Amino acid sequence: MKKETHILDGYVTMPPPLKEKPPINKSLITAERRFKTLQRKLQKDPNLSKQYHEFMSNLIQNGEAEIIPEEEDNKQDAWYIPHFEVWHPKKPGKIRVVFDGSATTDGKSINDYLMRGPDFMNSLTGILLRFRQNQVAITCDIESMFHQFRVANTDQDYLRFLWFNDQGSTALHQMKVHLFGAKSSPACATYGLRYIAHQLSKEDQISKNAVEFITDNFYVDDGILSVADPTTAMQVLSKAIEICHGGNVRLHKVLSNSREVVEAFPKAEQISSLQKLDLNTEALPTERTLGMLWNSEQDCFQYEVNMIEKPNTRRVILSNVASIFDPLGLVSPVILHGKSILQEMQTKA
């Protein structure tokens, strides 16, 4: 990775970390079978079909995928990956297409040939504690993080898939970026983000602060930070956006508990709930960050409990207790009551 990662045409390009080159196989047969199942599903559900086609069209228009030229259609040394839709529980009506890197052919999947890579994840607890440390808090997000990092041309043959061409016929395509669904993608994307931060930054203090933000205060694609004052917040976030832009990585969905900071960024870079507000009269929104609900107006975390309305069996109570995401343990005294009930039920059982 260190030898072959570089910035090409403005994008960070790196190889997928293969243990070995996958052998010639029958993965196209598996992909064709799965694609026929997907076609039937799309025919039965017009809404799913519309969103699926829009998602795939965007991949191609953004240069993240392409139709394979006819002269390479019959290339044997390639791997074909099925794909499917995932519905985000917090974003109803919006799908993401995921490539099934675990789909097997003759007992092997492309994930079996990929290395997971080291755990580059920052400590979630550490990030959240630093977020509560200073007066002015900011959050942001990397747009489609995995897709911002390109795969070397020589390795794109292992990221092939089936989709429709402009005439509506089935055609071979290949991804040009790291996949949602490949086990190596989280490590590769984090490595690529830090590569940008160190390659494109300068020696001034603001750049150093921005690099520290990018390397130490991102959890996958979510960045959160607190600083002493609005001026520092604007400088650090602006510089981070500039550095990432140099590698064609977009930092957006900016939110802060400071109106001064929010107003310093264009509407297009603000989180969508902010874009609809009158900042002079309306309260700042409550948004989810790193799984936590953050009330940016009051600058505090909130907890949302969706109780399952079913008979109080052990399974239902366990689901209710486990549904409260509390990595800092702030509401442990409350959750403890539910755990005590579970313990009592277990004892009597």
Q: Is pLDDT at 269 greater than 70 in this prediction?
A: yes
Digit-coded pLDDT (tens) for 95-144:
889 999 999 998 999 999 999 999 999 999 999 999 999 999 999 999 99
Digit-coded pLDDT (tens) for 25-35:
889 999 999 99
Read off the tokens for 44. Answer: 């039965």
* Per-domain boundaries in the chain: 6-134+146-187, 212-302, 314-348
Q: Specify the pLDDT at position 298.
A: 95
Q: Specify the pLDDT at position 349.
A: 60
All residues at 6 or more sequence positions from 227 whose CB lies less than 8 Å from its CB, including other chains: 134, 135, 136, 138, 233, 236
Q: Specify the pLDDT at position 314.
A: 83
Quick one: what percent of the chain has pLDDT higher than 70?
A: 97
Name the 3-class secondary structure at 141: strand
Digit-coded pLDDT (tens) for 181-219:
899 999 999 999 999 999 998 889 999 999 999 999 999
Which residues pair with residue 254 across a beta bridge? 270
Which residues pair with residue 99 across a beta bridge? 83
Under the banding of pLDDT at 50, 70 and 90, the label for residue 316 is confident
Query: CA 345 to CA 320: how far, in whole Å?
Result: 15
Hey, what long-range contacts does 236-241 have (CB within 8 A, 24 or more apart)?
Answer: 236/138, 236/206, 236/209, 236/210, 237/138, 237/140, 237/210, 237/213, 237/261, 237/265, 238/264, 238/265, 239/206, 239/207, 239/209, 239/210, 240/140, 240/210, 240/213, 240/214, 241/140, 241/269
Q: Specify the pLDDT at position 326.
A: 93
CA 201 → CA 1, 50, 212, 249, distances in Å? 20, 41, 11, 14
Cβ-contact 141, 294 below 8 angstroms: no
The whole-number average pLDDT for the span 254-260 is: 97
Give the chain's mean pLDDT: 92
Work out the angle at residue 290's Cα, subtended by the Cα atoms of residues 288 and 292, and round it to the nearest 5 degrees.
50
Q: Specify the pLDDT at position 344.
A: 85
Q: Specify the pLDDT at position 92.
A: 63
* Phi, psi of 309, deg, nearest 5: -85, 75
Read off the tokens for 297. Answer: 């107006």
Quick one: what percent of the chain has pLDDT higher than 90?
A: 74
Q: Specify the pLDDT at position 70.
A: 74
Digit-coded pLDDT (tens) for 57-106:
999 999 999 999 877 666 678 899 999 999 876 666 678 899 999 999 98
The whole-number average pLDDT for the span 243-249 is: 95
Digit-coded pLDDT (tens) for 10-25:
999 999 999 998 887 8
Q: Specify the pLDDT at position 185.
A: 95
Q: Specify the pLDDT at position 225.
A: 95
Q: Specify the pLDDT at position 254.
A: 97
